[in-house]
Structure 1
Amino acid sequence: MTDTDFAIEVHGLSRRFADFIAIKDVTLKVRRGHIHALIGPNGAGKTTFFNLLTKTLDPSAGTILYKGRNITRMAPAQVAQMGMVRSFQISAIFSTLTVLDNVRVALQRAHGTSFHFWRSVKELDSLNERADALLQDVGLADKADVTAGDLSYGRKRALEIATTLALDPELLLLDEPTSGMGLEDVAHAAALIRRVARTRTVLMVEHNLGVVADLADRITVLASGTVLTEGTYAEVASDPRVQAAYIGREFKA
């Protein structure tokens, strides 16, 4: 397997905060075109790891390669421009704008400009075709004129994914995409992730093990900032170390 088979490679990654080591000597490879899940109990270091990948934190040691290029010391904007884009655990949308305008804002950002309310309607309407396609992709085509703040929580997360996709990412980092959702919204979110992953690589932090079992091609388990094990869901679920890390939570292979 060549380096080009992997969207991202992490070697010996560590992050120390004073006397606390949040991430310790993590090595991980995410294969192109796969859905790779990062799981672990609370405090395992999953969010810190995402922050290191997207460069909002600098590592204390180790290297990060994206598409074969060393991005360890790059700025966050540079990494995003290369096609690595993250969605956050807390939905980040403009609640007073319509669903369509939220996507148009993101599309203007993708073109290197900001949203200008004084622009002509004709100029903004030039973004509609792509915006409509993105809303179709995430199942919000019938909600284009709805104020975003009036959407259900699950639909807000779908809108956030649409705005993320507007940046045309090659690698999509999803941070707890089903957090706080009811069963129906979880099913919609899982189907959406599977759909968008057809043409992208997805690395997701996810607490819902049913979603992980259904979607992930490969799973890495973090515990206390280190890699506990990696494999298919059946492999990690049968690992006694994983079962011990998730005390009180049942794994089913």
Structure 2
Amino acid sequence: MSNGADEPILRLENVSKSFFGFLAVRDFSLDVRRGSIHALIGPNGAGKTTIFNLATKTLPPTRGRIFFKGTDITARSASEVARLGMVRSFQISAVFASLTALENVKIALQRFRPDGFAFWKSSKVLHALDDRAMALLCDVGIESYAHARASELPYGRRRALEIATTLALDPELLMLDEPTAGMGHEDVGRISDLIRTVARDRTVLMVEHNLSIVANLSDQITVLARGERLAEGTYDVVSRDPAVIEAYVGSEHHD
């Protein structure tokens, strides 16, 4: 593949995934444009999270190929893909509950140090990360919680902390799995604004059940049903598609 500027940052080509004979994803193809916010939506069991797991190499595909920044990553490990610049968040918060918000971000900042994690290093070495860690907490609007334990943070602020830890890895492609799941209206608005902010200088691919968030944020939407691509386009286009309307009838709007 070429490395032209118009090349998608992420490409899935005819990807399938079967589990013990059950075909969860069937001949699925996807192009995610650089600098875009791209959403995956679909009814329950559509295969959205499986697609995420395939793209990030948490799961290997049964068939098909996956490219990131023009490089075939089909046989790469999840850690290799993360080092290339694709980082994901999860539906369940993945921060260290007993550590402070600042400490959580400092751990993430150490991820790509040449000498690895530095728990045993002097406090001077660790304090050198304070300014960058605090800047990331400011970026996600939780600097006032810097010295609070993650377990003490309100739910929406804890999800913001998780996004800060992913941003610490300086991803080119940020993968967000149901970023507003379980949130109240105020937190949904805050995280939506945060996604728009962090997308200014990176690409975002998200699975999201809240269709108002999808409509307000997404440049491109791919609709899944039964492991296959049902429709793709802007929200105005896919929301009027008869096949999409039929797929959602009687279904809840989340995975």
| Band of TM-score, shorter chain | over 0.9
Superposition TM-score, scaled by structure 1 size: 0.95
Q: 1:178 aligns with which of 177, 180, 184?
A: 180
CA positional deviation for 1:249: 6.4
Tell me how far apart the structure 2 counterparts of residues 38 and 20 of structure 1 sit (CA, whole Å): 21
Matched residue type, 1:227: R
Tell me how far apart the structure 2 counterparts of residues 217 and 180 of structure 1 sit (CA, whole Å): 24
Tell me how far apart the structure 1 counterparts of residues 13 and 133 of structure 2 sit (CA, whole Å): 38
- Residues 10 and 26 of structure 1 are in contact (CA less than 8 Å); yes or no, is this contact kept in structure 2? yes
Q: 1:245 to 1:169 in 2, by over 3 A?
A: same
Tell me how far apart the structure 1 counterparts of residues 160 and 51 of structure 2 sit (CA, whole Å): 24
Matched residue type, 2:232: E
Match of 1:124 in 2: 126
Q: 1:16 to 1:249 in 2, by over 3 A?
A: closer
Q: 1:185 to 1:217 in 2, by over 3 A?
A: same
Tell me how far apart the structure 2 counterparts of residues 177 and 246 of structure 1 sit (CA, whole Å): 21
CA positional deviation for 1:137: 0.5
- Residues 3 and 69 of structure 2 are in contact (CA less than 8 Å); yes or no, is this contact kept in structure 1? no
CA positional deviation for 1:15: 0.5
Tell me how far apart the structure 1 counterparts of residues 247 and 217 of structure 2 sit (CA, whole Å): 22
Match of 2:35 in 1: 33
Match of 2:5 in 1: 4
**How do 1:76-87 and structure 2 match up within 5 A?**
76-87=78-89
Q: 1:152 to 1:78 in 2, by over 3 A?
A: same
Tell me how far apart the structure 1 counterparts of residues 195 and 39 of structure 2 sit (CA, whole Å): 12
Tell me how far apart the structure 2 counterparts of residues 248 and 19 of structure 1 sit (CA, whole Å): 27
- Residues 44 and 251 of structure 2 are in contact (CA less than 8 Å); yes or no, is this contact kept in structure 1? no
Tell me how far apart the structure 1 counterparts of residues 80 and 167 of structure 2 sit (CA, whole Å): 17
Tell me how far apart the structure 2 counterparts of residues 170 and 230 of structure 1 sit (CA, whole Å): 23
Q: 2:242 aligns with which of 232, 237, 240?
A: 240
Tell me how far apart the structure 2 counterparts of residues 208 and 51 of structure 1 sit (CA, whole Å): 20
User: Structure 2 stretches of 5 or more lacking a match?
Assistant: none
Matched residue type, 2:86: M
CA positional deviation for 1:99: 0.7
SS at match of 1:4: coil
CA positional deviation for 1:114: 2.0
Tell me how far apart the structure 1 counterparts of residues 251 and 21 of structure 2 sit (CA, whole Å): 30
Tell me how far apart the structure 2 counterparts of residues 2 and 80 of structure 1 sit (CA, whole Å): 19
Tell me how far apart the structure 2 counterparts of residues 25 and 51 of structure 1 sit (CA, whole Å): 16
Tell me how far apart the structure 2 counterparts of residues 69 and 121 of structure 1 sit (CA, whole Å): 39
Match of 1:158 in 2: 160
The answer to whether residue 112 in structure 2 is matched with residue 114 in structure 1 is no
User: Structure 1 stretches of 5 or more lacking a match?
Assistant: none
CA positional deviation for 1:250: 9.8
Match of 1:89 in 2: 91
Matched residue type, 1:64: I
The answer to whether residue 152 in structure 2 is matched with residue 135 in structure 1 is no
Instruction: State the percentage of identical aligned residues.
Output: 58
SS at match of 2:148: coil
Superposition TM-score, scaled by structure 2 size: 0.95
State the Cα RMSD in Å.
1.6
Tell me how far apart the structure 2 counterparts of residues 248 and 208 of structure 1 sit (CA, whole Å): 16
Tell me how far apart the structure 1 counterparts of residues 62 and 75 of structure 2 sit (CA, whole Å): 11
Deviations 1:82-113 (A, max 9, x none): 00001000001111111100100111113252
